[in-house]
Amino acid sequence: MDVLIKNICCIGAGYVGGPTMAVIADKCSDIEVNVVDINEERIKLWNSPNLNDLPIYEPGLSQIIERCRGRNLNFSTDVQNKIASADMIFISVNTPTKKKGLGAGQASDLKWVESSTRQVAKHAKGNTIVVEKSTLPVKTAKVIQNILESVQNSVEGNETTFQVLSNPEFLSEGNAINDLEFPDRVLIGGESENAINALSNIYKRWVPDEKIIHTNIWSSELSKLTSNAFLAQRISSINSISSLCEKTGAEINEVAKAIGTDSRIGGKFLSAGPGFGGSCFKKDILNLVYIYEYYGLHDAADYWNSVLKINDWQKKRISNYVIDKLNGTVSGKKITILGFSFKADTNDTRESPAIDICLDLLEEGALLAIHDPKVNQNQIKSEFEERNFNENQNWSYNPNIIENIKESHAILILTEWKEYQSLDWQDIEKLMIKPSWVFDTRLITDHNQIKKTNINFWRVGEITNKETHSFS
């Protein structure tokens, strides 16, 4: 008989847990969904009456929160009691790359997974299905299972039983609600048929049956890493081609369109840019590399490592190019940075290419005027400080784009925000110091408009207006 889920607890109210639970609560009004977190400030923001204060910006999210919060969706720090009343528990805690110890710089730090699993082991009651949602290295389900079983066995007369499932998220930030409502697939890995059915039945409320894939638990975990590694590999591939376009006169958008029409390649995820960011790609490839190394598969490890190397190279070549075009020195020069989030429609700055590129310019003495429609000054500051850059007097933040641009030598576009697509270049030219430069790493500017001005401009994957190609 199918297990009927009436009460869900999600541990971790972050970018994954928050939107995922909001959509489950929205689609299943008969299920009580409790999202818990140890971070009181975050929970306070999730409960904020002003929906603009939610801790995560995601198009469509605030409308769902408005509909469901207080109905069957609750946010709290009451981890213990919400675990105790749940039939199904999602683990959606952070799993960043380890900073020290064994596997530092490569393996995921599982301390938050472990501590939340211990809380589950201690407080859960009755038959409980535990779902790993965070991106985790292969075989983590075993770690979760072992902790649950050992704590469980150590308490005499304990009647709690656990089934562990892997149900990786495939959310692309900025599009998370759409990805949840209309997923390409839902992947559920596990052994217990009852548990798999219980979770499938939740998704079946809005996802067609054929899109719900069942695999063994290890295939599910590995598919998540592989999926992100393949996506990241596409970006490194197109970025490496962009450099060749700049030398030869080919245009990266034309090349992307031409290859994308081959149905075996497909047209998505072929936009050249400043390099990929976000919390997943780098972390997941590092994890994959770590696992290959562990099994002695060094050549395959090198292969995937090269995807990361090209990503770093792309960022570096952009900052070097800017410095080169500003006569080899940016010292004391004001440069306007448009965009700090790792992509548009999110306030997330984790691994944003803007961090490394800005730091390169700051190290060279540039004065940066940074703008982003959703990222605030404190977040930028903490990203710089985390990289040990504390000279905060050398950069400024202003929510007004035009104020930032005044007296700049150059504008560097790093995120493809809509606001930057319709700038009036003729007006902007009057505000800038001459010779002025615009560097567009996202191919969002209207170059026909810029051509009408005396602004020098460069767009990734295209030859600049002042250069001609030559094969000699």
Catalytic residues, by residue number, are: 280
Say how many CA atoms lie within 13 Å of 444 toward its Cβ: 20
253 contacts 461 by C-beta, under 8 angstroms: yes
Nearer to ligand UDX among residue 151 and residue 280 (C-beta): 280
- Which partner from the list ligand UDX, ligand ADP, none does 342 bind, CB cut-off 5 to 8 Å by kind? ligand UDX
Nearer to ligand UDX among residue 86 and residue 252 (C-beta): 252
Nearer to ligand ADP among residue 281 and residue 292 (C-beta): 281
Residue owning tokens 């998704």: 203
Under rule CB under 6 A, residue 13 binds ligand ADP: yes
Under rule CB under 6 A, residue 269 binds ligand UDX: yes
Omega before 399 cis (within 30°)?
no
**Among the listed residues 422, 427, 337, the one whose alpha carbon sits nearest the alpha carbon of residue 384:** 337
Both tokens assigned to 233:
């590999």
Question: From the list 3, 7, 27, 38, which residue makes contact with ligand ADP (rule: CB under 6 A)?
Answer: 38
**Among the listed residues 282, 423, 433, 413, the one whose alpha carbon sits nearest the alpha carbon of residue 358:** 413
The 82-121 contact track toward ligand ADP, x by CB under 6 A, reads ----------xxx-----------------x--xx--x--
Nearer to ligand ADP among residue 119 and residue 243 (C-beta): 119
Both tokens assigned to 134:
């965070």
Closest residue to ligand ADP using C-beta atoms: 14
Closest residue to ligand UDX using C-beta atoms: 278
Q: How far is 253 from 272, CA to CA, in rounded Å?
A: 8
- Of 34-42, 336-344, 372-380, 433-441, the window that binds ligand ADP (rule: CB under 6 A) is 34-42
- At its nearest, how many Å lie between ligand UDX and the CB of residue 287? 13
Instruction: Please give the size of the binding site for ligand ADP, defined by CB under 6 A.
Output: 22
Residue type, 301: A
Under rule CB under 6 A, residue 172 binds ligand UDX: yes
Sites for ligand ADP among residues 246-285 (CB under 6 A): 279
348 contacts 387 by C-beta, under 8 angstroms: no
Question: What is the torsional sign of CA 155, 158, 160, 163?
Answer: positive
- Which partner from the list ligand ADP, ligand UDX, none does 173 bind, CB cut-off 5 to 8 Å by kind? ligand UDX
- Of 38-46, 217-225, 385-393, 448-456, the window that binds ligand ADP (rule: CB under 6 A) is 38-46
Under rule CB under 6 A, residue 342 binds ligand UDX: yes
- At its nearest, how many Å lie between ligand UDX and the CB of residue 79? 25
- At its nearest, how many Å lie between ligand UDX and the CB of residue 341? 9
Both tokens assigned to 392:
């905060």
What DSSP assignment string belongs to 374-442? S--HHHHHHHHHHTT---GGGEEE-S-HHHHHTT-SEEEE-S--GGGTT--HHHHHHHSPSSPEEEESS
Sites for ligand UDX among residues 131-170 (CB under 6 A): 169-170
Q: How far is 255 from 234, CA to CA, in rounded Å?
A: 14
Catalog residues that contact ligand UDX under the rule CB under 6 A: 169-173, 228, 231, 235, 269-271, 273, 276-278, 280-281, 342-343
